[in-house]
Structure 1
């Protein structure tokens, strides 16, 4: 299973696509597979490394990613986003906010793409991305708040509710991330992105609201679909983190987990903010 998130798609954490060994060649019949009876342990390059450590009494989990690592790195990344958002909110006012927001969004996009295609996580790069993403969100949210007071806080609460709901549904196995689930989400995401791109082209060359995906009843439906897709991406991210923990991912991979979760939460927040603005504008 590869996540729709570009961060995780270059490092398959899961067992369904042959990338459980973090792009390493399968090691079928390894000692972990024999001793534990785990049919997937043979594909984990860290399984055989653990055996000598256990023989000499060294802690086999010392350099592996833990849930505490993921939580701490995610907290640092999201904290940087929040600080950047606070600066972006109070830095400018009026129409200047939109130009500032667009500039920060472009920088964040470039930094995010660079990290997505790097073979190893770069904490400074990830935190720089988070800072510019925060500046973008703060400036945009401040502009929206001038029109619809309280909308950004409503979007934050909505994003938190989606995160909590998906986490509970995932942990209780109400949501099961399978190959079929993955294929459906990816097909829907491709269609969503293509429609968004077409709408932007119509807005740029035809003026107005393009195809109407940003206002009215159609905009509401489009916004709900965007939030649902964000929730599905979140489930895929949880699956990637779970598999990374199960397969003994290196500790540095926790930065990628934090980066991926931040990308998804930003997506959900933006879609939530847009939907609230449409609902309050009608």
Structure 2
């Protein structure tokens, strides 16, 4: 699998079990994605308003926001995998959680590397627009082979990172983790790979959404598409921010 929300298997199951009624459109999915992004940005802006007002937020509190938002977002994604019909509510809640996560992370990085979060946000927006243009003009096509390759690479990355995390809990593989997440050549190369893979996942998401519209998927699948695209965008931003931080060290 690639994006857990835009799973091809789940997408096909929903198409097979639903007929009649309003159908999804690409424009509808785009509007809902924009709405979710605005919700997330509103939460981030609310957190940053204290920073701009000179009211310092304790690091432990920011850490709590980040952990809570991250865990909450993960739980909502897992629920969304099995209950796609509730994606409207789940995706809004996810955007709020990710607003807390990214708001805390950006404030921490802003203190350590002034201006870096804004640069990462700019690069993320540019990557989104760039990949959308490449997809629209057919330069990069979401063919079945391309999608399988990206999905396989993403699943492999997720499995590897997950296994490394579990091993680290027992004090195993800490050196490898330090290398991958350090600012050496291997660490920077790993981050570049993650950024490229996240960007390619955008094309997979575009393809899934367009395929759903072409096959006249039910209207609520617009929320599923928007939810999945949000998951990829958050991942892309975090990877770009991590890469830029490594280059600044």
Deviation (angstroms), 1:208:
7.0
Equivalents in 2 of 1:128, 1:262: separation in Å? 12
Map residues 58-97 of structure 1 onto 2, 5 A cutoff. Answer: 63-90=22-49, 92-97=57-62
TM-score normalised over the length of structure 2: 0.87
Distance change >3 Å, CA 133–CA 234, structure 1 → 2: same
Deviation (angstroms), 1:11:
3.5
Equivalents in 1 of 2:118, 2:32: separation in Å? 24
Tell me which residue corresponds to 1:104. 69
Tell me which residue corresponds to 1:193. 158
Tell me which residue corresponds to 2:53. none
Larger relative contact order (CA 8 Å, sep ≥ 6): 2
Equivalents in 2 of 1:128, 1:244: separation in Å? 23
Determine whether 1:234 maps to 2:168: no
- Kept after mapping to 1: 8 A contact 2:87/2:227: no
Equivalents in 2 of 1:139, 1:272: separation in Å? 16
Tell me which residue corresponds to 1:5. 3
Structure 2 counterpart SS, 1:7: coil
Equivalents in 2 of 1:83, 1:195: separation in Å? 34
4+ residue segments displaced more than 4 Å: 201-204, 206-209
Equivalents in 1 of 2:132, 2:187: separation in Å? 27
Which range moves more in the overlay, 88-97 or 122-131?
Answer: 88-97
TM-score normalised over the length of structure 1: 0.77
C-alpha RMSD of the superposition: 2.3
Structure with more helix by fraction: 2
Determine whether 1:154 maps to 2:137: no
Deviation (angstroms), 1:181:
1.2
Tell me which residue corresponds to 1:22. 15
Distance change >3 Å, CA 119–CA 103, structure 1 → 2: closer
* 1:155-186 residue CA offsets vs partner (Å, 9 max, x unmatched): 10111111111111111111122222122212
Deviation (angstroms), 1:71:
2.0
Determine whether 1:117 maps to 2:76: no
User: Aligned residues, how many?
Assistant: 239
Unaligned stretches of 5+ residues in structure 1? 13-18, 25-44, 50-61
Equivalents in 2 of 1:208, 1:130: separation in Å? 34
Determine whether 1:261 maps to 2:220: no
1:219 paired residue among 167, 183, 187: 187
